[in-house]
Structure 1
């Protein structure tokens, strides 16, 4: 699994080019690719939330756009601008299942997308999909966060349907 949670300035001592960085935003996790010299590449909202005194908002991680399946932007920023006061960690958890590309290839893939607008949605094309596609060279990437959200919604929906059917069945007797 991922490394120890810490703040951005501590994390930089442990990062290697091509590492995936997971940032704890409390209600979700934002992901970026470490490219060296303190910089990361990530999929983010179109609004510019890079002012040092601004607090990260949903749009700084593309979440506001993602609910509507809109557009996000690939940005290169310093980790301090992206993580702010949130805890973060190196998390290359998929390395056991997927062979990562060489660090130079990962960085080149991520950097080649900087400035591009991309379609974004929470389930099929989020920041985690972007970083895993960069690290593993897999078209579309993958996201445990999205899979877990879909499973949770499916479980709730299934439970509601079963409850409804049981009430219909037992209510008619």
Structure 2
């Protein structure tokens, strides 16, 4: 049973990872902000030098063991997905290759610099030292404390995620669209007509469209 669950989680994780040929070798400087494009998001890390990257990654193991040997091993897809569900992560140091996980690595020199609020180029050495000071177990939230929050705090002293802001803006526009309230109301009526009127069907059929309408 556990083997089947692990295989299922492994297959599910492949949906979130963009597989590509190994990226060509290039020279990075200590404190550089690196990014790896995935299918649904971008993963971020801080380059520490000697081919190593510090990054925050969901990981269930810090919540269940303190064995340094196990914690230092490569994070598998199963560990990652269970970490997302348990809201646990670790700030760890991996090689550029393990950080990339088969995808291309990009040097971020644009979007994040605009996020600095006009304070000029951040100090790269300070960013690397901040990343090193946070190594170890950490709480995780897909929207409020992810890898992008980690790198922006290291680079600019303020945690921020452009990906989260874009998602919330999209969600806000979705909620404010009155047509969605109408669609939800029609679906609720269809559900009542199919399943009959009861507390379990009437409450969501009325409450969801009403909430969407009031928020729009």
When normalised by structure 1's length, the TM-score is 0.73
What is residue 54 of structure 2 aligned with on the other side? 41
State the secondary structure of the residue aligned to 1:85: coil
Sort the Cα spacing of 1:151 and 1:69 in 2 relative to 1 into closer, same or farther, 3 A.
farther
Shift of 1:64: 5.0
Say whether residues 1:110 and 2:131 are aligned partners.
Answer: yes
Sort the Cα spacing of 1:148 and 1:49 in 2 relative to 1 into closer, same or farther, 3 A.
farther
Q: Which of 142, 153, 159 is the equivalent residue of 1:122?
A: 142
Partners of 1:148 and 1:50 lie apart in 2 by 33
State the secondary structure of the residue aligned to 1:123: coil
Gaps of 5+ in 1: 1-5
CA offset digits 1:16-74 (Å, max 9, x no partner) = 211111111222111111111111000012245955xx8x63754xx6533x4611110
Aligned length: 154
What is residue 136 of structure 1 aligned with on the other side? 156
State the secondary structure of the residue aligned to 2:40: coil
Over the aligned positions, Cα root-mean-square deviation in angstroms equals 3.0
Shift of 1:127: 0.3
Partners of 2:37 and 2:184 lie apart in 1 by 40
Partners of 1:167 and 1:130 lie apart in 2 by 37
What is residue 57 of structure 1 aligned with on the other side? 77
Sort the Cα spacing of 1:97 and 1:164 in 2 relative to 1 into closer, same or farther, 3 A.
closer
What is residue 91 of structure 2 aligned with on the other side? 74
What is residue 163 of structure 1 aligned with on the other side? 180
> Greater helix percent: which structure?
2
Partners of 1:155 and 1:43 lie apart in 2 by 30
Larger relative contact order, structure 1 or 2 (CA cutoff 8 Å, min sep 6): 1
Say whether residues 1:148 and 2:149 are aligned partners.
Answer: no
State the secondary structure of the residue aligned to 1:164: helix
Gaps of 5+ in 2: 1-20, 62-70, 190-216
Partners of 1:109 and 1:64 lie apart in 2 by 27
